[in-house]
Amino acid sequence: MHCHTSSGRYRHKDDPDQSCLPCHQDRVEEAVEHHHHPEGKAGSHCIDCHMPMTRFAAMNRTDHSMLPPTPAATLKFESPNACNLCHDDHDAEWADKWVREWRDEDYQEPILYRAGLIDSARKGEWDRLPDMLDYLTSEDRDEVFSVSLIRLLETCPKEEKFGGLLKAMEDPSPFVRSAAAAGLSGYFTPDAVMALIEASTDEFRLVRIQAAGALVGFPVGDLPNRQRDALIKATKELFDSLTSRPDDWSSYYNLGNIYLTQGRVKESVEAFGDAHQLRPDAVLPLVNTSIAYARLGEEENRRPLSEKL
């Protein structure tokens, strides 16, 4: 609420440094020593360097990750950096030289390190898995980076990753715990099942429903009553979350996947059908309808659906 009105308008258009003042007063007062640009001109406002306009998700937006400008990341990973978005007549090497000259400490190094882990995970370079798992459990892990790494680990075939995910289930951040729970999906070792059942009573709903989602398909019959009840309650929350937006095709698609995992194949066909009706050009519901029909043994039904594609 400090920076935006409740409808999302920016409050400090004419004096953007006001956005940062309440929490970073020292920086605002000693701004020139910090940013090395003449007062009042472009390059002297906090948002010039910390919230540059970049493009993602097909929109131009100011970057809200609040990171320092990092020209070295442009050199290494071709990520944009705030300096060269303005100084487009100079290259990243030029900007990198300046930020190194202006600072004693190599503030870019830790940013490059974690960016390197993300880069390796994207490329499937799993020989770096031990470093990735160390990062997840390190004191100064950034929660957004941790969650990104955990999600990228989904395609990692190495068993060791689960040890790291189990540790991440104890992370103080609910965002990290929820991602770790999702990462343990279908991994029904006693340790993992216990951790997920415990997470199904987490203080945060996001963690509870991800834990319930990860345990879809786990036979609850053998669990002690208290644990079973907790899991049933969290699973109900999961279903509520998926049916809370009845105009959204992906809700039905996700619901269909849960039914399919639970062996409720006919219900899954129905849910995928609803998804298809809401969004006829989405391919995933059609693909999974075929899978569901194949499971039902209705070979004939596969043909007309694939012809629709």
Give the footprint of ligand HEC on this chain (CB under 6 A). Answer: 2, 17, 19-20, 22-24, 27-28, 31, 34-35, 37-38, 41-44, 46-51, 66-69, 82-83, 86-87, 95, 98-99, 103, 107
Choice between 35 and 161, CB closer to ligand HEC = 35
Choice between 38 and 263, CB closer to ligand HEC = 38
What minimum distance in Å lies between the beta carbon of 8 and ligand HEC? 15
Choice between 117 and 192, CB closer to ligand HEC = 117
Choice between 35 and 208, CB closer to ligand HEC = 35
What minimum distance in Å lies between the beta carbon of 301 and ligand HEC? 52
What minimum distance in Å lies between the beta carbon of 104 and ligand HEC? 10
The b/e string for 187-215 (b: 16+ C-beta within 10 A; e otherwise) is beeeebbebbbebbbbeeebbbbbbbbbb
276 close to 285: Cβ distance less than 8 angstroms = yes
What minimum distance in Å lies between the beta carbon of 17 and ligand HEC? 5
Strand partners for 10 = 4
The span from the CA of 146 to the CA of 179, in Å, is 9
What are the distances in angstroms from CA 287 to CA 71, 253, 270, 305? 43, 11, 14, 8
What minimum distance in Å lies between the beta carbon of 202 and ligand HEC? 22
What minimum distance in Å lies between the beta carbon of 39 and ligand HEC? 10
Choice between 19 and 146, CB closer to ligand HEC = 19
Residue 266: burial class (beta carbons within 10 Å; 0-12, 13-18, 19+): exposed
Choice between 71 and 183, CB closer to ligand HEC = 71
Pick the closest to residue 231 from 260, 201, 191, 187 (CA basis): 201
17 close to 31: Cβ distance less than 8 angstroms = yes
The span from the CA of 82 to the CA of 71, in Å, is 8
